[in-house]
Chains A and B, each alone.
Chain A
Amino acid sequence: MHAAVIVFPGSNCDRDMAVAFEKAGAKVSMVWHKDTALPEGVDIIGVPGGFSFGDYLRCGAIAANSPICQSVVAHAEKGGYVLGICNGFQVLTETGLLPGVLLRNANLKYICKPVRLRVEAADSAFTAGYQPGQEITVPIAHHDGNYFADPETLERLHGEARVAFTYCDNPNGSVDDIAGVLSQNRRVLGMMPHPERMAEPLQGGTDGAAMFATLVDQLADA
C-alpha cells in the first residue's frame, strides 16, 4: 500500500502521519504543496494537521488552492482514498470534497487534550477496525474545530450514515457532536482528532493505530 502525505508550509503533523502509515506497513512518499502530480500508484493521500499558510484568511483556504490540491481532488473524484486530519480536514472542506466547515471553537480557546470519541460508522476502510459504538481516546489540538453545516447537509450526512466519529463530551461546540465525516463514497474521511498521535504505546495509547492498520490491510487487497 502506497500512501502520499502532503506537506504545506506550516504543516506540523506530516511526519507523525507518515510514521503511523509506515508502522502499519505502508510505503510513504512525502509530497510538497508546489508539486502538481502525485507519485505513481498512490492508494491514499494523507492531508496532515498543522497550520498551513499560518491559517491566514481561513484555516485551510490557501492550502486548498495550492497546486497539489488539484491532484488531490482529481484522485478523490476518481474514487481514490483521502484522509484529512485536523488542518487536513479543514483543507478538505475548503476544497469541497467534504461538506461543512470548521469554525472557531465555541469557547474561543485552543484546546489540546485527549478526548473520548464514539465510532458512529464502522463500515469504511478507515473505521472497519473498530466496532460500531466503540469509544476510543484520541487527542485533539485545535483552535478551529467547531464543525458546522446547514440543516439540509446535516440531514443528508445522518441519513447516509456519513458521520464517522462523534465526541462523547463535545469540547468545541461542533454541531451534533460531529468529530469526523465521510464523503458519499466513504473514501474520503476528515476528522479533527489525531489518530496518528495515538498509534504506539510511547504516545500514551494505541487507539488510533487500528485506523492505519485497517487502511493498509484493506487497500493492499484492493
Chain B
Amino acid sequence: MKARVHVMLKNGVLDPQGEAVRHALGQLGFDGVEAVRQGKVIELDLTETDADKAHASVTEMCEKLLANTVIESYSVEIV
C-alpha cells in the first residue's frame, strides 16, 4: 500500500520560495499568477494492507516528523 503526504505552509506564514517562483514566472511572461505557495510531496511504501490503519499510522508520522505543525499543514492520501 502506498501513501502520499502533502505538506504545505499554513496560510499566514510567508513563503519566500513561493514568492520567488511567482516573480520568476512573471519575468517569463506568465501574467496573471497572483500567488505561488510551494510545498512538499512525500510518498511512502507501506507493508500495511488495511487502509484505515495505514492512514492512522501515516497521520502519526506527520505529527511526529513529516510536518512541523507550528508552520505546516499536511494531508494524507492512501493510494
Contacts and interface: CB of A to CB of B under 8 A. Distances in A.
Contact of A65 (B14, B17, B64, B71): B64
Contacts of B26: none
- Dominant SS among interface residues on chain B: helix
Contact of A94 (B13, B16, B68): B68
Given A101-B71, A103-B71, A57 B16 contact: no
B68 A58 contact: yes
Contacts of B13: 103, 148
B71 A148 contact: yes
A7 B64 CA distance: 22
Contacts of A129: none
Contact of A104 (B16, B65, B68): B16
B36 interface: no
A106 B68 contact: no
Contacts of B20: 108
A173 B68 contact: no
A61 interface: yes
B34 to A, nearest CB: 20
Nearest to A105: B16
Contacts of B65: 57, 61-62, 65
A101 B70 contact: yes
Interface residues of B, number: 11
For chain A, the bracket of interface size reads 20 to 34
A151 to B, nearest CB: 9
B66 interface: yes
Contacts of A107: 16
Contacts of A150: 70
Nearest to A59: B68
Contacts of A94: 68
A100 interface: yes
Interface in A46-95: 57-58, 61-62, 65, 93-94
A99 B66 CA distance: 18
A198 B44 CA distance: 44
Given A57-B65, A61-B65, A106 B16 contact: yes
A57 B71 contact: no
Nearest to A93: B70
A107 B71 CA distance: 19
B16 A173 contact: yes
B67 to A, nearest CB: 9
Interface of B: 13-14, 16-17, 20, 64-66, 68, 70-71
List 4 A-B pairs, minimum CB-CB distance, nearest first: A101-B70, A101-B71, A106-B16, A108-B16
12 contacts: A57-B65, A61-B68, A65-B65, A93-B70, A103-B13, A103-B16, A104-B17, A105-B16, A106-B14, A146-B16, A150-B70, A173-B16
